[in-house]
Structure 1
């Protein structure tokens, strides 16, 4: 009798376990995105989600079939001898970057979520293996293409050879109001920031760990601008598989997503003002002020979206006139002395006039 009473609840419990495993697995993936809480992404996304911002990802291409990127990837272009529109990815690196920037999840709290889930991704395929660094001619062509298509920010989670053609493309993109963001590099033993992150005007990004301390792989250098999480970063691979990686490529993609949030919330801001908003609100680390290990500090999304920040292009206030009296002949001092002299002349004149009148009255 007792057994009969227990069977229905046990069956119901078993059905509940067998029918609802997917959300539990998906939630586990979201829970592994520790950087979402670290950066207060949920609070930031109540202010902006990257609406209307086109983000160029110059990488290995982007797998547009990944569910979390459904509707987010527009047709792009292939370079480096490839043909296509950038929406295929042989290596998975570009797909991971795109998911960190604009991953839309799978509904509710399921699936991988990016920083700016309402931004659009412009995929640009550079090579079949991004680890080789990218041919500088392809990188330059990709930057030119992105700027021509109206991208407001370009993600360069790569390094390449220092060439004038890339420098020129970057300068032209910045002049066209594009924010160019590049990974600082994953080989600190080299002792210098990778190219093109070390180019003036580029936002060079380093990596920190779960404690906000410099990641072991993160390159340091005077060109570093900001840092973001770059250790054990969960994102997506081709086919929608999850991927966990460590490196400045991942921290770079998170900063690109942050810039997309800023550009959506403040569409009137020009590129330098967008970057200033990012740097002025960063959480200072290491030596006070900007330093070669953390740049201006760890990005702070909520402050970047809410703080009062002076424009980068504003000129200093004009100097105020001196409060002390100048001593030149045209100054206040000369004027005072002139007034006193005039008063003395008047007094003397009146005294002389009165004396003449009195003398005349005394005459018979």
Structure 2
């Protein structure tokens, strides 16, 4: 029996009272207030980033509770699927999936009105499961990942923690091998103690959270697998029924990072998924102790730098000197070479081979990436 991953629903704790629907008599006021309350937009300089790229041409799969066709999101919502029943995924009685989709690709309505996502021209591929009924398990998430890969998703945003079933591990690794960027929530305290799966899978971008001051969010799990962090506290987004919601958790941070990956994939369409991840970590704003650490990973994502910096490609190292991921995770965690440097995004399962390749990650003493002018 596989461990249930219904806890993924609580990774982004929705406020008990939802904001009025976007179609209510006070819709304009509500939409203006929601946009102002989306503090993460200014924090991440989203407006400046979107002047460079808006995510056009990229498809982001959202395996979750489905996605409601919210007025601020519907233009970017593709028909998807329900892996446990009928339907095309464009239905959500819970709100979690709709909130995640809105953080990724909400387009709002008019200047300064409505919720705005990180990549407002990206398309969302909704994949609904029985999570909403409390009956989902890891294999349902695996089926969602498999469907996303088959239907040409460029990015998969997983705001859930699951049991690492054989099928799910196979699905995640197949997605990575298919050049898909996979982003996943690290997990939330107190329910989670360690970074959960699939965030802990080598190659997946593991996302932790910060508050509006850029400090570690207490709800966010820490660990050597954390790659980057993003806003995770009091995050406003779309919800079911045309409403808006406020939530806290690493789910929201994950959706924001997935939106960032969409921007990069849109601007650099030929960039391999691993290089997309490298751009995010190499340009992240370092926090905490110098170099990578277990609270912030490589730092807070920097959208503008990720889109404009002159980031050298990852270099190859000899496979013979690379420790297996399970060994590396217990290794030295100094500022120059960390466990995650060996065990995560820089690790690829060599096609046809039985060994791991490590691509060199940015180190603490490395000069910062150059910004292209």
- Separation (CA, whole Å) in 1 of partners of 2:45 and 2:255: 16
Q: Which residue of 1 aligns with 2:311?
A: 309
Number of residues paired by the alignment? 294
Q: Is the CA contact (8 Å cut-off) linking 2:64 and 2:131 kept in structure 1?
A: no
Answer yes or no: is the 8 Å Cα contact 2:210–2:229 preserved in 1.
Answer: yes
Quick one: structure 1 residues 186 and 51, their matched pair in 2 at CA, closer, same or farther if it must change by over 3 Å?
Answer: same
Structure showing greater relative contact order (alpha-carbon pairs closer than 8 Å, 6 or more residues apart): 2
- The structural deviation recorded for 1:21 is 6.3
Structure-2 residue corresponding to 1:73: 77
Report the equivalent of 1:135.
137
Residue 31 (structure 1) aligned with residue 36 (structure 2): yes
Residue among 63, 82, 100 paired with 1:58: 63
Q: Which secondary structure state, in structure 2, belongs to the residue aligned with residue 207 of structure 1? A: strand
**Pair 1:239–1:302, CA change in 2 (3 A):** same
1:250 paired residue number: 252
What's 2:106 paired with? 103
SS of the equivalent of 1:142 reads helix
**Distance (whole Å) between structure 1 residues aligned to residue 27 and residue 98 of structure 2:** 23
Asked if residue 114 in structure 1 is aligned to residue 117 in structure 2, the reply is yes
How far is 1:211 from its partner?
Answer: 0.4
Task: Write the deviation string for residues 157-205 of structure 1: whole angstroms up to 9, x where unpaired.
Answer: 0011121211111111011000111000112574310111111111000
Specify the SS of the correspondent of 1:181: strand
Q: Which structure shows the bigger proportion of residues in helix conformation?
A: 1
Deviation at 1:242, TM superposition (A): 1.0
Q: What SS does the aligned partner of 1:206 have? A: strand
SS in structure 1 at match of 2:49:
helix
Q: TM-score, normalised by structure 2?
A: 0.76
Q: Is the 8 A contact 1:101 1:116 kept in 2?
A: yes
In structure 1, how many angstroms separate the alpha carbons of the residues matched to 2:111 and 2:275? Answer: 34
| Structure 1 counterpart of 2:203, from 201, 204, 214 | 201
Which consecutive unaligned segments of at least 5 residues does structure 1 have?
1-19, 317-364
What's the counterpart of residue 221 of structure 2? 219
**2:280·2:306 contact (CA, 8 Å) conserved in 1?**
yes
> Match for 1:281 among 280, 283, 306?
283
Correspondence for 1:343: none
Residue 129 of structure 1: how far off its partner (Å): 2.2
TM-score normalised to structure 1 length = 0.78
Question: Does the 8 A contact of 1:191 with 1:221 survive in 2?
Answer: no
Give the aligned CA root-mean-square deviation in angstroms. 1.7
Distance 1:108 1:191 in 2: 42
Structure 2 counterpart SS, 1:268? coil
Q: Deviations over 1:108-153 (max 9, x none)?
A: 11000000000000000122428x5941111111111111111010
The alpha carbon displacement at 1:23 in A equals 3.6
Closer/same/farther in 2, CA of residues 227 and 240 from structure 1, 3 Å limit: same
> Structure 2: which 5+ residue stretches go unaligned?
1-24, 319-373
Q: CA deviation at 1:26?
A: 2.2
Once residues 285 and 195 of structure 1 are traced to their aligned partners in structure 2, the CA distance between those partners, rounded to angstroms, is 24
Alpha-carbon distance between aligned partners in 2 of 1:123 and 1:299, rounded to the nearest angstrom: 25
> Are the counterparts in 1 of residues 137 and 162 from structure 2 also a CA contact under 8 Å?
yes
Aligned equivalents of 1:244, 1:59: Cα separation in 2: 17
Separation in structure 2 between the aligned mates of residue 133 and residue 221 of structure 1, nearest angstrom: 29
